[in-house]
Structure 1
Amino acid sequence: MDISTFPPLALALDALYNLVLGIGTVVQPFAGGAAPVLAIALLTVLVRLALVPVSVSQVRAEVTRRRLAPAIAALRAKYAKKPEALQKALLRLYTSEKVSPLAGILPTLAQAPVLSAIYALFVHPQLAGHANLLLTQTFLGIPFGSNLFATLGAAVTAGFPPVLVSVALLVVLAVVVELTRRANLRWAGSALNAEAGAAADHVPGAAAVASIARFLPYITVLFAAIAPFAAAVYLVTSATWTLGERAVLRRVIRAA
């Protein structure tokens, strides 16, 4: 069963469909052939602007964690041989400081429905009973509904420029992901070390998990490679926005 045909979801997808087409129509006079991809990028910006309060909450939680780093280290030393007591003490500390464990992933959770909807927009030939015209749109020869592997398959007849565009998009995303990862490490610094140290002492395999976690952000790049091109554009725009937004908010909130 195709859940996109479920009336509430169909109406939501149709509304998003018309929004993307509308933005594309507005920017067409000055964007030309880039209007479809610019429409996706502008839609992403609108979504991220709506999520600014969530991002502010996340950065405030990060600032609090940095401030609590010495207290976390003290609790780690105090409950070195009592992992359960340590976890309870950390929970009490976070509760007293009003730090939510979910603060770090709220922006991702909030964006998930939008990304899912954009993915659905470019895989269904029919939406709300009408043809999906978005699937007819292209950017530099790349259909919005295709992914990198489809572009590679078409390279034999269509030539390599579309492939290069897709690969370049993934490279940009990988660079932004790495810059974001490094910025997060520099910012969190002592707070991450304190919490990671506590975990490493008491959780079997924590060191291995930490090593794997280094590569988890790159799952976004893998998803962008298999997702429709339009969804990849959304991911690149959102990741770039996150990198800049986080730098600004950290500076402003820390100075407040």
Structure 2
Amino acid sequence: MSFLSPLFSNLGSLLTHLADAVEPLFGASATAAAIVVLTCCVRLALLPLARSAARGERTRAELAPRLAELKRRHGKDPERLREEGAKLYAESGTSPLAGCLPSLAQLPVFYVMYHLFSTGDGGNLLEHTLLGAPLGGRWAGALGHGGAFGAQGLVYLGLFALIAAVATWTFLRNRKAAATLPAPVAGDEQVPGMAAMAKVMPLLSFGTLVTAAVVPLAAGLYLATTTTWTAVERMLLQPLRTPRETVGTGPKARTSAA
């Protein structure tokens, strides 16, 4: 994967410059602070995409009655149902998978962060620490240096506590939101496994906790920062997700302006 080397090198240099800029405030933990700053910058750049995804969620909720009507009319003709559902989504300018785009867009950044602090391709990044815990180290290594309540272990416990708190809050909000939504119909059926994915989505927030326990501390710090950002972002963008008042109940039902 030599073609990615310039990317690794550039991100490593960017982290180093950011760490130098915040070192007067954070001292030996400056690189950890730089990771948080970089993560926030990435999420800020993705904010337009997040807003678009939030509007897409609202549109899909508003389309639910029309999709249900299509299912009633074409339930015995799956092919026609898929075609009409896809046409309805196309007319509304949204997609069943639109809400996944912000998460997918972050994967390359997470991978680069993981690679840098796993291999040291970014220069001397592996030498940096967060409150004494190596950013390139893992929880298993911290357990071997003082145990779960040692100096390094406490850093991980703090990280896990933050991720667990955010995951629990996210799970409760997602479960409450899912309970108010109708079952996927029509256009959603064109995406294999959509119904099953909708059931497990509220649980995925806890997957971050498991991931943070096995990746380098730097990647875990990225995960903690981005999941916290996501939780706050979803709360602030909730008005964009709230369906507008629906006018009519037939297949040509429309929504009033927000």
Q: TM-score, normalised by structure 1?
A: 0.82
Query: How far does residue 172 in structure 1 lie from its aligned partner after superposition?
Result: 1.6
Query: How far does residue 70 in structure 1 lie from its aligned partner after superposition?
Result: 1.7
Does structure 1 conserve the Cα–Cα contact (< 8 Å) formed by 2:70 and 2:186? no
**Aligned-residue identity in percent:** 37
Does structure 2 conserve the Cα–Cα contact (< 8 Å) formed by 1:41 and 1:237? yes
Out of 202, 212, 216, which is 1:224 matched to?
Answer: 212
Structure whose residues are more often helix by fraction: 1
- 2:150 is equivalent to residue 143 of structure 1: no
Whole-angstrom distance in 2 between the partners of 1:211 and 1:53 = 27
The answer for the alignment partner of 2:173 in structure 1 is 183
Q: Taking structure 1 as reference, are residues 104 and 159 closer, same or farther at Cα in structure 2, changes over 3 Å only?
A: closer
Greater displacement, 236-245 / 168-177: 168-177
| Pairing 1:124-139 to 2, within 5 Å after superposition | 124-127=119-122, 132-139=123-130
Out of 114, 134, 142, which is 2:109 matched to?
Answer: 114
The Cα offsets for residues 63-88 of structure 1, whole Å up to 9 and x where unpaired, read as 11121122223233334444443333
- Look up the equivalent residue of 1:240 and give its one-letter code: T
The answer for the alignment partner of 2:82 in structure 1 is 87
Greater displacement, 93-102 / 244-253: 244-253
- Look up the equivalent residue of 1:118 and give its one-letter code: M
Whole-angstrom distance in 2 between the partners of 1:237 and 1:60 = 24
Q: Taking structure 1 as reference, are residues 26 and 206 closer, same or farther at Cα in structure 2, changes over 3 Å only?
A: closer
Query: How far does residue 161 in structure 1 lie from its aligned partner after superposition?
Result: 3.0
Q: TM-score, normalised by structure 2?
A: 0.82
Q: Which segments of 5 or more consecutive residues in structure 1 lack a partner in the other structure? A: none
- Look up the equivalent residue of 2:184 and give its one-letter code: E
The answer for the alignment partner of 1:100 in structure 2 is 95
Q: Taking structure 1 as reference, are residues 65 and 198 closer, same or farther at Cα in structure 2, changes over 3 Å only?
A: closer
Q: Taking structure 1 as reference, are residues 20 and 87 closer, same or farther at Cα in structure 2, changes over 3 Å only?
A: same
- 2:24 is equivalent to residue 29 of structure 1: yes
Does structure 1 conserve the Cα–Cα contact (< 8 Å) formed by 2:71 and 2:185? no
Q: Which segments of 5 or more consecutive residues in structure 2 lack a partner in the other structure? A: 245-257
The answer for the alignment partner of 1:153 in structure 2 is 144
- 2:162 is equivalent to residue 172 of structure 1: yes
Query: How far does residue 159 in structure 1 lie from its aligned partner after superposition?
Result: 6.1
The Cα offsets for residues 1-45 of structure 1, whole Å up to 9 and x where unpaired, read as xx2xx1x42111111111111111111112223322111100001
- 2:183 is equivalent to residue 194 of structure 1: yes
The answer for the alignment partner of 2:44 in structure 1 is 49
RMSD of aligned alpha carbons: 3.1
